[in-house]
Amino acid sequence: MEKVKFGDSGLELSRMGLGLAALGRPGYINLGHADDLGRNYGISYMENRAHKVMDEAVGLGINYFDAAQSYGKSENFLSSWLKKSMSDHVNVGSKWGYTYTADWQVQAKKHEVKEHSIIVLNRQWRLSSKKLEPALKLYQVHSATFESGILNNTEVLDKLGAIQDTGMLIGLSLSGEQQSEVLKQAMKISVEGRLLFDSVQITSNILEHHSDRVVAQAAERGMGIIIKEGLANGRLTSRNKNPSFKTHIDILHGMAHKYDVGIDAIALAYLLSKPYHHVVLSGAATTDHVTSNARATEIALTESEISQLDRLQLSAQDYWEERNQLAWN
């Protein structure tokens, strides 16, 4: 798999990465998540499953894995896999700011609690670095928003700057209608005269790519760009039976037939066609998923096909309203 320079960081990452959100916990909002797991939520079973998907990913040439403290036991599973696989060419990113609170249940009053405080940062940084170093190369603010106060919290920003001084890359992940505005402000933040954020992880897919212009600007300034939710939590797969998406799915099926791939690969190839997208995450929960997703790196969509897919975008409001209604399963 092709590797690219990750902004000005010095890292060379595979065009596709593996996100562990669907592998580290029994409950998630992806369509069909329960079926993916075979409704077997035993910790050892899920750890073994995660290891198999990671093995497959490495075999396909993927060298970037993305975890978070709130993805259940994702860091534990990744840590045990790193020790077992002895892979010395894998690069890991993790995130802080959410605490997992579902107690390994599919249904919970709250699955995760967000708090961008210095107390949470100190606690989660200590845990993540202990579990994942030396593979840990990127530490990210999980879902930075104006409301969380992270962009104005000098104590937290100074701590992130101190972590950056150790050689760790510092990033932020974004979600919601204000992704672009938050990124614009984040690009202005500096600590001790140095820009703080080395990278951004942002939601982008065929249905929601309103942030393209500012993301391209961030890449031009040297930030590494990671794309998440490329399949819109399953809405850009055959599992989406919503009649309002029939036109979208039919167009994807037509292109998939031409290239002899799954429609997931077409949706991800659309993202890979943008040169300022350095890494596009697969959210695979099975080995078949990651294999199918990786076929995207073999496809070069035509300008006409890209334009056709461009026109399938929803309004930002509609996209995020629908996402917020997805059920944990």
Per-residue confidence (pLDDT) for residue 82, from 0 to 100? 96
The model's pLDDT over 202-216, given as tens digits with 9 standing for 90+, comes to 999 999 999 999 999
pLDDT given for residue 202 in this prediction: 98
Average pLDDT over residues 281-289: 97
Residue 280 pLDDT: 98
pLDDT interval class at 104 (50, 70, 90): very high
What would the mean pLDDT of 41-46 be, rounded to a whole number? 96
SS3 readout for the chain? CCEEECCCCCCEEECEEEECCCCCCCCCCCCCHHHHCCCCCCHHHHHHHHHHHHHHHHHCCCCEEECCCCCCCHHHHHHHHHHHHCCCCCEEEEEECEEECCCCCCCCCCCEEECCCHHHHHHHHHHHHHHHCCCEEEEEECCCCCCCCHHHCHHHHHHHHHHHHCCCEEEEEECCCCHHHHHHHHCCCEECCEECCCEEEEECECCECCCHHHHHHHHHCCCEEEEECCCHHHCCCCCCCCHHHHHHHHHHHHHHHHHCCCHHHHHHHHHHCCCCCCEEEECCCCHHHHHHHHHHHHCCCCHHHHHHHHCCCCCHHHHHHHHHCCCCC
- pLDDT exceeds cutoff 90 at 320: yes
pLDDT of residue 88: 77
Confidence tier at 155 by pLDDT (50, 70, 90): very high
Rounded to an integer, the average pLDDT of 303-311 is 98
Which CATH superfamily groups domain 3-324? NADP-dependent oxidoreductase domain (3.20.20.100)
Q: What's the mean pLDDT in 264-274?
A: 98
Q: Tell me what percent of the residues of the chain surpass a pLDDT of 90.
A: 97
The letter for the amino acid at 145 is: T
Q: What is the pLDDT of residue 132?
A: 97
Instruction: Evaluate if pTM is beyond 0.85.
Output: yes
Window from 73-77, 237-241, 304-308, 309-313 with minimum mean pLDDT: 237-241
Residue 87 has pLDDT above 90, yes or no: no
Question: What mean pLDDT is predicted for residues 111-130?
Answer: 97
Q: How confident is the model at residue 86 (pLDDT cuts 50, 70, 90)?
A: confident
State the pLDDT at residue 129.
97
Residue 142 confidence (pLDDT) above 90? yes
The average pLDDT across 119-141 equals 97
pLDDT tens, position by position, 5-33: 999 999 999 999 999 999 999 999 999 99
